[in-house]
A = this chain, B = another copy of it.
């Protein structure tokens, strides 16, 4: 299925991800669901690697999410196993047993405790994971792990994704150069309420798990959690951040340490890049939308208004049709349930204010807006005119491609 889809017109080339000391990746074809492609990925981390994670807020999370939540308590990671094609969700006791078995497999290979193994699965919901295929494939896969397996891993975790996704940042902590790089997958069932989809990020920085967790949680809120493809929150969302400590920077014990300023900026920027790559591969996407909301009663309120606009099928289909139908933006503001006042509301598209304080700008000339709508990157501005809260959201348009993909994904 994934192979049959044309590459998103919004795709970005995979960046050069250089080897990172303490991290080895590999991918293989375990035949879980798809034929003729890799679908099983493994990573090994050097002893002492710390880990942080954020997960879906779904009330029906997959077995691997349960597993990782429990494993995260230890704060250390030695291995990661990810499969595509089957999400191991809603599989009852069989799902739990599958996670136990595969964690034990990876623990045996990497000579660690099972609780140091992290698991993720993505694909169809409700079918029992053929975990023995994974058990059988892991020893051979482990033997191929290498320093330069990042892109192969990014490809191995794809489902309806049409291009592999990666990002890298180099920064410093207290004068020591450190790197952060990661991969992500995701295309549909994207409406993060915590994290979204799958993303695996590693840094060679020395950072204790609690600090790492704080940075990841904060960064996710401003990146993945500001994006949506179709308003449908996955049962399998997960972002994991591993720190190998190989860069040897001075020890940091407090997430608020000023020495982390550059690192935080780099991490946040990388998280946003990965999140936007997922939006760029939104099922059927032809255009990106960036919605900025100002003048709200709080930042939280602004973000909810931005997400209401981003999740509106009528706004998304208008964008797909290159129609500057700003009335639908007004509708979405109105339905958000957030404080808003029609008579102080302003709406702009592509930098042109179309309506100010509840009515169309006198002499509004649609020409520059029409030109903007023909582009791939659509900017929507909403000023609520109430207070100083700001927020933003990113999404893609809603097209025939989405219907094509989702009317037939499973079968």
Contact = CB atoms under 8 A, between A and B. Distances in A.
A358 interface: yes
A409 B323 CA distance: 9
Interface stretch (A98-106, A134-142, A247-255, A324-332): A324-332
Contacts of A312: 231-232
A92 B359 contact: yes
**Interface on chain A toward B: helix, strand, loop, or mixed SS?**
loop
A90 B345 CA distance: 9
Given A92-B358, A334-B233, A317 B61 contact: no
Interface residues of A, number: 72
Contacts of A57: 337
Given A60-B334, A230-B313, A334-B59, A403 B398 contact: yes
Contact of A330 (B125, B317, B342, B398): B125
Contacts of A126: 326-327, 330, 355, 360
A333 B60 contact: yes
B358 A313 contact: no
Contacts of A15: none
A399 B403 contact: yes
Contacts of A87: 327
Nearest to A339: B59
Given A189-B331, A232-B313, A234-B331, A343 B92 contact: yes
A313 B406 contact: yes
Contact of A403 (B56, B193, B317): B317
Contacts of A127: 327, 360
A216 to B, nearest CB: 22
A58 interface: yes
Contacts of A124: 327
Of A61, A189, A407, A410, most B-chain CB atoms within 10 Å:
A407
Interface of A: 56-61, 87, 89-94, 124-128, 188-189, 191, 193, 230-235, 311-314, 317-318, 320-321, 323, 325-328, 330-343, 345, 355, 357-360, 398-400, 402-403, 406-411
28 contacts: A56-B334, A59-B338, A59-B339, A60-B333, A60-B334, A61-B342, A89-B327, A90-B327, A90-B360, A91-B359, A92-B343, A93-B359, A125-B331, A126-B326, A127-B327, A230-B314, A231-B231, A231-B313, A232-B312, A232-B313, A317-B403, A318-B406, A320-B407, A321-B406, A321-B408, A325-B410, A402-B403, A403-B403
